[in-house]
Amino acid sequence: MIILTDEPLDAAAVTDSVRRDGNGAVVTFLGTTRDNFGGKTVTRLEYEAYDAMAVKKLQEVRDSLCRDYGIADVAIAHRTGRVDVGHISLIVAVASPHRREAFEACHEAVNRIKTIVPIWKKEWFADGSRWVACEDHEFADEAEHTHAHAERHAAPVGDD
């Protein structure tokens, strides 16, 4: 199951899609909009995707995990558009006979998704917004820009 949608995500449905009688372990990751970033209050996130390529890359992530971890049951769902605080933007569910592969593959899935899938995240604060992970793309005079930006040191890569 690969889902890319601007509708709310259903964690139970994604998790249930990987359950099989031959699996003893199911690990599900939910990425949710956190209410703060770098000490500032986040009011919402907005995700923008290059849809056709994103779906293809999500499938590639799933296929590469199945190959690398010797597993068969991986489901990924990503939401686009506005995602309010506390709501789910990403679900990864992995099931396998034993728990170690399920934990490791699920964690690695999230890492790969955030590295290769063309989906961009914009954080909205009370006083402005910023595209996440675009720090390298800021110009030296960016502080004068109309949008407020989180400070560099407060923007680790792969933050959620």
Partner 1 sequence: MFALYRERAGSALVSVELPEGSTAGDLTAAVRAEYPRLAPPEVRIVVAVNAEYADDDQPLCPGDEVCLIPPVSGGMPMREAARR
Binding positions for partner 1, rule: CB under 8 A: 48-50, 52-53, 56-57, 60, 64, 68, 111-122, 131-134, 136-140, 157-160
User: Which residues 6+ apart lie within 8 Å of 150 measured at CB?
Assistant: 37, 38, 40, 123, 125, 130
Of 4, 31, 42, the C-alpha closest to 111 is 31
Rounded to a whole number of angstroms, the minimum distance from the CB of residue 143 to a copy of itself is 27
Determine, following the binding rule CB under 8 A, whether residue 43 of this chain makes contact with a copy of itself: no
Q: Pull the structure tokens for residue 39.
A: 């000490």
CB-wise, 17 or 82, nearer to partner 1? 82
Determine, following the binding rule CB under 8 A, whether residue 27 of this chain makes contact with a copy of itself: yes
Determine, following the binding rule CB under 8 A, whether residue 15 of this chain makes contact with a copy of itself: yes
CB-wise, 68 or 84, nearer to partner 1? 68
Rounded to a whole number of angstroms, the minimum distance from the CB of residue 96 to partner 1 is 17
Among 4, 106, 117, 150, binds a copy of itself (CB under 8 A): 106
CB-wise, 82 or 122, nearer to partner 1? 122
Coil, strand or helix at 5: strand
Rounded to a whole number of angstroms, the minimum distance from the CB of residue 1 to partner 1 is 21
Give the integer Cα–Cα distance in Å for 107 and 92.
9
Q: Residue 155: name its binding partner from a copy of itself, partner 1, none (Cβ under 5 to 8 Å by kind).
A: none
Give the integer Cα–Cα distance in Å for 112 and 149.
26
DSSP string, 44-82: EEEEEE-HHHHHHHHHHHHHHHHHHHT--EEEEEEE-EE
The secondary element (H helix, E strand) that includes residue 84 is strand 81-84
Residues forming contacts to a copy of itself in the complex (CB under 8 A) are: 11-12, 15, 19-36, 85-86, 97-100, 102-103, 106-107, 110, 158-160
